[in-house]
Chains A and B, each alone.
Chain A
């Protein structure tokens, strides 16, 4: 543990010193919230099956944060560290290699949580967000979704030689995930064909899981999502462990 806590703390500071990363994680969801919130408000509406737009969108935006941190932030950060030689320098110390990677996971997870907390606080204060579900269960689902996407981020960082390539790969995956999953645009607006296609988009399962848990669905109703995300997590971890390079 020696050094690990300090590394995590410095990584948090570094994260917040990069305006782009902080923007995507912390502020972009707020901007969407305020745009759509100002148009639709949060009154229960038949279009959202009797729910308010903000109540439905908030868990979807949580999924969006998870997607952007996993597919963009982590992939770019880790590939960039390798490309520049930061990982080499860290590895020439007694710090355990796993601790270096774990600190990336922890820092990005904390930032994801912070982004989620800001979003929820803003939605609650401005639009009177309602949360009928159970916080612990929601947090568990959120954590599962985050870890799955972080594992994919590590996978991208493993196959990409440079931060640029990681960025491009990340974007190529991020946009379909963002727009077809219902994370950014409510699924209720999609034609049926796109909704069916969305089942093949990993982030859809995070959106479905988090929306379900947000409204207090029993976990048993979401075993498919849980299975898909667990599978993604295992796949990401195994493939990145196989292909990861320190330099």
Chain B
């Protein structure tokens, strides 16, 4: 059953803490070479899932295959081949940045040179700083460097850009894309929908330990957030009737000379522009309003509210 083109396969994964089913029958698979994201409210079970995949927590049920290995039994061999950035962890206060990289590199059969990694993460000038003296974002970068120090086939990044400034966040996206371009697989969690949308090939939405949706960001947005809106300014005497008959158009509204066409589908905008063109209708200031992944997230996990974590 294990397929070489799948980096991860999870079937009916279950993890309970006492009476709480933190992960409650989760199924998904991750293709090799993919950037795969998990989003969900606080306490949804993202960290629990990721740590089961890393072999750091023992699932209570289900089947797991990570790089063809069973994290329950082959944890050590697995950790040789994966990179791990934990949501919560630390290094000894007095350990210096270069010592941490030198130490972690020595744990692996085939480590990557770590000096360029420090430069890429822009903490090269902090080589001699002690862990306790680093800022939150610098610690985060160090942990990402440690996750990449063995040039892993599969990297797990649990909230990789939490605590990073917007520049660093974008630099991190480039870094992640670079990792993928070298043929590696990335599994990440995030609370930033923009990040999931920009970075991920596919996104798993979880809530209360269950899968709510799994698809590419574009598909999730199209399927779940509903309508695309097209707005333009038409010349006087514009007749909305022909537009209403177009495929995918749900409604057309006029407000003075502003026209709003709402509907569904990737092709909606082409269809509308072609129709306007074909009829010789002049328009200007055309723009589209598309829902983003944040709307999807809010719609899918709406009922939970602030106490979503407390069940």
- On A, residues with C-beta under 8 Å from B are 2-3, 6-7, 10, 13-14, 17-18, 81, 84-86, 88-89, 91-96
Q: Is B20 located at the chain interface by the 8 A CB criterion?
A: no
Instruction: Specify which chain A residues have a CB less than 8 angstroms from the CB of B102 in the assembled complex.
Output: 6
**Inter-subunit contact A14/B56 (CB<8 Å):** no
**Inter-subunit contact B94/A88 (CB<8 Å):** no
Instruction: Specify which chain B residues have a CB less than 8 angstroms from the CB of A93 in the assembled complex.
Output: 79, 84, 104, 107-108
Binds A, one of B31-39, B85-93, B162-170, B224-232: B85-93
Q: Is B182 located at the chain interface by the 8 A CB criterion?
A: no
**Inter-subunit contact A3/B107 (CB<8 Å):** yes
Among A7, A10, A81, A85, the one with the most B-chain Cβ atoms within 10 Å of its Cβ is A10
Query: What's the Cα separation between A93 and B86 when bound, in Å?
Result: 12
By Cβ-Cβ distance, the 6 closest A-B pairs, closest first, are A3-B107, A89-B89, A85-B89, A84-B90, A92-B84, A17-B94
**Inter-subunit contact A94/B56 (CB<8 Å):** no
Number of interface residues of B (CB under 8 A): 25
Q: Is B284 located at the chain interface by the 8 A CB criterion?
A: no
**Inter-subunit contact A14/B92 (CB<8 Å):** yes
**Inter-subunit contact B79/A89 (CB<8 Å):** no
Q: Is B109 located at the chain interface by the 8 A CB criterion?
A: yes
Among B54, B86, B106, the one with the most A-chain Cβ atoms within 10 Å of its Cβ is B106
- On B, residues with C-beta under 8 Å from A are 54, 56, 76-77, 79-80, 84, 86, 88-92, 94-95, 99, 102-104, 106-109, 143, 146
Query: What's the Cα separation between A95 and B146 when bound, in Å?
Result: 14
Query: What's the Cα separation between A3 and B111 when bound, in Å?
Result: 12
**Inter-subunit contact A92/B56 (CB<8 Å):** yes
**Inter-subunit contact B88/A88 (CB<8 Å):** yes
**Inter-subunit contact B91/A89 (CB<8 Å):** yes
Query: What's the Cα separation between A91 and B90 when bound, in Å?
Result: 12
Among residues of B, the one whose C-beta sits closest to the C-beta of A5 is: B106
**Inter-subunit contact A10/B95 (CB<8 Å):** yes
**Inter-subunit contact B91/A3 (CB<8 Å):** no
Instruction: Specify which chain B residues have a CB less than 8 angstroms from the CB of A2 in the assembled complex.
Output: 106-109
Instruction: Specify which chain B residues have a CB less than 8 angstroms from the CB of A3 in the assembled complex.
Output: 103, 106-108
Among residues of A, the one whose C-beta sits closest to the C-beta of B108 is: A94
Query: What's the Cα separation between A6 and B111 when bound, in Å?
Result: 14
What are 27 contact pairs spanning A and B, CB under 8 A?
A2-B106, A6-B102, A7-B106, A10-B99, A13-B99, A14-B95, A81-B92, A84-B90, A85-B86, A85-B88, A85-B89, A86-B90, A86-B91, A88-B86, A88-B88, A89-B86, A89-B89, A89-B90, A89-B143, A89-B146, A91-B56, A92-B84, A93-B79, A93-B84, A93-B107, A93-B108, A94-B79
Instruction: Specify which chain B residues have a CB less than 8 angstroms from the CB of A81 in the assembled complex.
Output: 92
Smallest CB–CB gap between A138 and chain B, Å? Answer: 33
Instruction: Specify which chain A residues have a CB less than 8 angstroms from the CB of B108 in the assembled complex.
Output: 2-3, 93-94
Q: Given contacts A10-B99, A18-B94, A81-B92, are A88 and B56 in contact (CB under 8 A)? A: yes
Q: Given contacts A6-B106, A10-B103, A14-B95, are A92 and B79 in contact (CB under 8 A)? A: yes
Query: What's the Cα separation between A91 and B86 when bound, in Å?
Result: 11
Instruction: Specify which chain B residues have a CB less than 8 angstroms from the CB of A6 in the assembled complex.
Output: 102-103, 106
**Inter-subunit contact B76/A7 (CB<8 Å):** no
Among residues of A, the one whose C-beta sits closest to the C-beta of B104 is: A93
**Inter-subunit contact A92/B54 (CB<8 Å):** yes
A88-B88, A92-B84, A93-B104 given. 12 additional CB < 8 A pairs?
A3-B106, A10-B95, A14-B95, A85-B86, A85-B90, A89-B90, A92-B54, A93-B108, A94-B76, A94-B77, A94-B79, A94-B80
Instruction: Specify which chain B residues have a CB less than 8 angstroms from the CB of A94 in the assembled complex.
Output: 76-77, 79-80, 107-108
Query: What's the Cα separation between A241 and B60 when bound, in Å?
Result: 22
